[in-house]
Amino acid sequence: MKAYVFPGQGAQFVGMGKDLYETSAIAKELFDKANEILGFNITEIMFNGTDEELKQTKVTQPAVFLHSVILAKTLTNFNPEMVAGHSLGEFSALVANGTLSFEDALQLVSKRAMAMQKACEITPSTMAAVLNLNDKTVEDICASIDGVVVAANYNCPGQLVISGETKAVELACEKMKEAGAKRALILPVGGAFHSPMMEPAREELAAAIEATTFTTPICPVYQNVTASAVSDPAEIKKNLITQLTAPVRWTQSVQQMIADGATSFTEVGPGKVLMGLINKINKDAETIKA
């Protein structure tokens, strides 16, 4: 079975999508439509901006989404049998399998980015990458810290990201190193994504998601929250709302897709981050760059 996977924030680079814009009429039309929907010229920033401009959450999230979705729409023989996306990438996956329209998904992604940026400004918060510790040890250390710090991204075995209040994350990093972590490194992010610190953003996004039409998809999406195949629009909605404050179970999602018959994984969007993670989760998995 063919699985298609879509990257999240962090995969962006200046110049992304420019080749599509210049060579595909469908791509040009969708990029132009995106500028109208967003109310600012995102293509100018994507194609010719600076790294700093592209790094702003309100730009990054729609930019990665646009590159992924528009690339998918230009692929020949695009017939996914299962899809998944890492964090933000779940929105791209939901357009790819027909749950959301391009326009509705872009508006939700834009609202999500703004809501997350706002939530980040309330309390100093951050994320950190932890290497070479097992999941249980990371979870136990987080639970022992006074303050908010949780496991946020299960990226691949031995690579987790923790998220929470800055002081709690810093203290957790010290304890992770004492417990034998090869690295516990604070990440250059705007705030504590996929943690309870995102509750204000979750509430804001919930209203927008509830008001949006979700249709029955052509194939299941393996959602970050459950790491299982979901095809029911109401359930997809519920999981998408929960996603902001819950961990991204990427390792578990990929393992489940393989158990359910995935024979190849095609990464659609900027970069090759997910291909690398999938190969670490299962060294025999076939990964393809779209």
Q: Catalytic site residues?
A: 87, 194
Cross-strand partners of 265: 3, 287
**Nearest Cα to 202, choosing from 268, 263, 116?**
116
Which H or E run contains 235? helix 233-242
Structure tokens at 46: 């994507």
Cross-strand partners of 126: 164
Rounded to an integer, what distance in angstroms lies between the CA atom of residue 215 and that of residue 225? 20
Cross-strand partners of 164: 126, 149
Long-range CB pairs of 33-39, under 8 A, 24+ apart, other chains included: 33/102, 33/103, 34/62, 34/66, 34/106, 37/103, 37/106, 37/107, 37/110, 38/62, 38/106, 38/110
- Tell me the torsion sign for CA atoms 102, 264, 10, 67: negative
**HSE toward the beta carbon, residue 68, CA cutoff 13 A:** 40
CA distances from 118 to 104, 201, 230 (A): 21, 7, 30
With beta carbons less than 8 A apart as the criterion, state whether 57 and 78 touch.
no
Rounded to an integer, what distance in angstroms lies between the CA atom of residue 79 and that of residue 65? 19
Rounded to an integer, what distance in angstroms lies between the CA atom of residue 136 and that of residue 138? 5
